[in-house]
Amino acid sequence: MSNQTRTALVTGCNGDVGRFLAGHLLESGWRVLGLDRADREPPPGVIFERCDLRDAAATSGAVERLATAHGAPDLVVNGAGIIANAPLVTIAATGGWQAHDAALWEDVIGSGLTSAFHVIAASVPRMLTARKRGVIVNISSVCAAGNPGQVAYSAAKAGLNGLTYALAKELGPLGIRVVGLAPGYLDTASTRDHVTAARLAKVVAGVPLRRLGSLEDLTRALDFIVADGYVNGTIIELDGGLVL
């Protein structure tokens, strides 16, 4: 796919991963549209609209405005999501059992899974109307296999994988590919905020390549997915061989 005048829509573009991916696409000549609910400044050069992607109507409106003004996307990167370190049950300070916070569950699923559904549902009609072939890349995680202590995050990513498989079959005949990209532990500020140094050291020891993934690893994989016209309906695990 030539990227001359091509348009990419990146969600979660204010976070570590989304920001890097958006910057990479800009450097590669794409027009980049960005959506995020976070208060952080969007990456320079991104045509940005702040939006709570958990809200179907708000997301539909934002995608409509961006696509009308700047063109339907050729590439959609669903990078929005939040990590939550929370087991199903914990022990409260008073010594009793404490169940996973329901609002946190809703937020993690809404931010990481429902948001992708809303963005795709809003984008695909525009892509079809514009007679565009394209690709949707869902940023998943190896945690989809089930990471203890991250029950909501694991469920959100597993759901994202299911969304990827189903939509690849639905949209493939229409000329739109859907692919998942599932990093292991990436060397980002977010990772270091959520994983202790001791845990990270153990993770690195368990990676056959003996290092965390880099954001450059991620962009190389994204470039491959975009460039290759036949990869579809699969989850590319980018984890150095790590098995959780």
Identify whether the C-beta of residue 21 lies closer than 8 Å to the C-beta of residue 79.
Answer: yes
Q: Which is nearer to another protein, 44 or 96 (CB)?
A: 96
Of the residues 96, 102, 131, 230, which one makes contact with another protein according to CB under 8 A: 96
Of the residues 45, 71, 149, 233, which one makes contact with another protein according to CB under 8 A: 149
Number of Cα atoms under 13 Å in the Cβ half of residue 199 = 12
Q: Return d(Cα 221, Cα 227) in angstroms, integer.
A: 10
Identify whether the C-beta of residue 207 lies closer than 8 Å to the C-beta of residue 186.
Answer: no
Number of other residues whose CB lies within 10 A of the CB of residue 88:
11
User: Which x/- pattern, by CB under 8 A, does the window 173-212 give for another protein?
Assistant: -----------------------xxxx--x----------
Identify whether the C-beta of residue 222 lies closer than 8 Å to the C-beta of residue 77.
Answer: yes
Minimum Å gap between C-beta 243 and another protein is: 17
User: Which x/- pattern, by CB under 8 A, does the window 66-85 give for another protein?
Assistant: -------------------x
Minimum Å gap between C-beta 59 and another protein is: 33
Torsion of the alpha carbons at 198, 182, 116 and 7, rounded to the nearest 10: 120
Which H or E element spans position 202?
Answer: helix 197-206
Identify whether the C-beta of residue 72 lies closer than 8 Å to the C-beta of residue 86.
Answer: no
- Which of the ranges 89-97, 123-131, 173-181, 217-225 carries the binding residues for another protein, by CB under 8 A? 89-97
Q: Which residues contact 72 (CB under 8 A, 6 or more apart)?
A: 7, 123, 126, 127, 129, 130, 132
# residues contacting another protein (CB under 8 A): 17
Of the residues 2, 57, 91, 131, which one makes contact with another protein according to CB under 8 A: 91
Q: Does 146 bind another protein (CB under 8 A)?
A: no
The set of catalytic residues is 153
Minimum Å gap between C-beta 189 and another protein is: 20
Of the residues 148, 162, 172, 175, which one makes contact with another protein according to CB under 8 A: 148
Q: Does 90 bind another protein (CB under 8 A)?
A: yes
Minimum Å gap between C-beta 147 and another protein is: 11
Q: Does 86 bind another protein (CB under 8 A)?
A: yes
Amino acid sitting at position 177: R
Identify whether the C-beta of residue 63 lies closer than 8 Å to the C-beta of residue 9.
Answer: yes
Can you give the binding site for another protein, defined by CB under 8 A? 85-87, 89-91, 93-96, 148-149, 196-199, 202
